[in-house]
Amino acid sequence: MTTPLACYLLVAALLFAIGLAGALVRRNAIMVLIGIELMLNAANLNLIAFWRFEPHPEALTGMMFAIFSIAVAAAEAAVGLGLVISIYRHTNTTDLDKMNRMKG
Amino acid sequence: MSVVFYLLAAMTIAGGLAAVLLKQLVHAALAVTVAFAGLALLYLDLDAQFAGFAQILVYIGAVTILIVFAILLTRSSDLPKEGVFSGTWAVGLMIAAGVFAVLGWAVLASVRVVPQQSPAPAVTVRDIGNALVGRYALPLEIVGLLLTAATVGAVIVAMHEKERPKG
Give the ipTM: 0.91
A91 to chain B, any CB pair closer than 8 A? The answer is no
Neighbouring CB atoms inside 10 A of A38's CB total 27
CB within 8 Å: B74 and A55: no
Minimal Cβ distance to A20: which of B9, B95, B107: B95
CB within 8 Å: A19 and B16: yes
User: Residue A71: is its pLDDT beyond 90?
Assistant: yes
CB within 8 Å: B84 and A72: no
CB within 8 Å: A41 and B132: no
B160 alpha-carbon distance from chain centroid: 28
Q: What are φ and ψ of residue A38, in 5° steps?
A: -60, -40
pTM comes to: 0.90
Instruction: Tell me the per-residue pLDDT of B24-83, one tens digit each, with 9 for 90 and over.
Output: 889 999 999 999 999 999 999 888 889 999 999 999 999 999 999 999 988 766 777 777
Closest Cα in chain A to B121:
A57
Using CA atoms, how far apart are residues B17 and B28, in angstroms rounded to an integer?
A: 9
Specify the fold of B1-81: Four Helix Bundle (Hemerythrin (Met), subunit A) (1.20.120)
B142, A68 contact by CB (below 8 A): no
Closest Cα in chain A to B108:
A6
Report residue B122's pLDDT band, with 50, 70 and 90 as the boundaries.
confident
* The pLDDT value given to residue A41: 94
CB within 8 Å: B116 and A6: yes
Closest-CA distance, B167 to chain A, in angstroms, reads 16
* The pLDDT value given to residue B77: 62
